[in-house]
Copies of this chain bind each other. A is one copy, B any other.
Amino acid sequence: MSTHEKRYVGIDLGGTNLKLGLVSADGKVLRRLSSPTQAKHGPAHVLERMAQAVRDLCKAAGIGLEDVAAVGAAAPGPLDTKEGVVLFAPNMPGWRNIHVRDALAKALDRPIVVENDANAAGYGEFRCGAGRTVRDMIILTLGTGLGGGIIIGGRMFRGHTDTGAELGHTVIKYGGRRCGCGITGCLEAYASCTAVVARTQEELATGVASSLAGREDITCKDVFDAAAAGDAFADHIVKDTADYLAIGITSLLHVLNPEMVVLTGGMMGAGDKFLNLVRQRVKETAFERAASSCEIRWSELGGDAGIVGAALAAEAFERTGQQA
């Protein structure tokens, strides 16, 4: 590693784990670090752990803090990214109006940017992952929840008050399943990993025949594995999931008409057969001109997308003086 090459730190702040990466200006992860968030101890404790993790990462990489050009933190929303404030984080106790940027800047004396976690993942894919050849893309993070990120003309799209790109909270079924956010019919309530498990368990409770019947702690992966092994019930859950996702993507194509849709998160374990189902349904449903000009792909960076995107958002800010 040349000492002349600029390096950035990306932090992915999750409710369970802090993930950090030392990242080069072209998005290579030079060193990783992961540690428990310990969110139950409150925001001040977590902020101190974040700062300490940056120091630990630098130490492990044999560099000083002063060798880090800027630090990017990807955090759950809603945020005020201009001010670097987490307005509210439902999975972390006490997180209301927490000034992440100012706290980290004070602790580390480095330029800090704070971005929405799904937007950061999208930016990472855009800069050096699946979307590196396009200028207009969206990302859907299919995990515990269903997050979204939008890149328009090579820049992160945040909306007027940083509340844009909440793509999991677009309604695909009026009067349908209740989402964790309180709205009925959100895409997240149908196509997140959590929703796949919930839909499976609800149908199993009605007594359907399946290799999954009677099992406790079913995971999303279990459902996809059972489908792959020939379980007809699991196959129906998988096909419905592809349908729901395809309907959500169709609506997004008709609003944003992107060049690419990147899918990431835990559901990547479903593999290419599932991806092809989604592609096929979008092709059948969406306007031809929107569908044929849009590629639907799995993420390339996978679990690194957040740290890479956060680091490169910091890089862009340090380079241009503007938000990425």
A residues lining the B interface (CB < 8 Å)? 78, 87, 135-136, 148, 150, 152, 157-167, 169-176, 181, 183, 185, 190, 243-244, 247-248, 250-259, 285, 287, 289-290, 293-294
Among B161, B244, B255, the residue within 8 A (CB) of A170 is B255
Q: Is the CB of A173 within 8 A of B170?
A: no
Q: Which residues of B contact A172 (CB under 8 A)?
A: 171-174, 185
Which residues on the B side are within 8 Å of A171 (C-beta)?
172, 247-248, 250-251
Contact with A78, one of B163, B166, B185, B287 (Cβ below 8 angstroms)? B287
- Which of B163, B173, B175 is close to A257, meaning CB atoms less than 8 Å apart? B163
Report yes or no: A166 in contact with B136, Cβ–Cβ below 8 A: no
Q: Please, how many angstroms separate the alpha-carbon atoms of A163 and B250 in the complex?
A: 12
- B174 near A159 with CB under 8 A, answer no
Pick from B164, B190, B248: contact of A256, CB below 8 A: B164
User: With contacts A174-B172, A181-B287, A285-B183 known, is A160 near B254, CB below 8 A?
Assistant: no
Given known pairs A163-B290, A287-B166, A289-B163, the reply for A174 and B255 (CB within 8 Å) is no
Extra A-B contacts (11), CB below 8 Å, given A160-B294, A166-B287, A172-B174: A148-B255, A158-B257, A163-B253, A163-B257, A163-B290, A165-B255, A165-B257, A166-B254, A183-B285, A185-B247, A251-B251
Least CB distance, A191 to chain B, in whole angstroms: 11
Docked-complex contact B251 and A161, CB < 8 angstroms: no
Given the known A-B contacts A159-B136, A159-B256, A290-B163, are A250 and B174 also in contact in the complex, defined by CB atoms under 8 Å? no
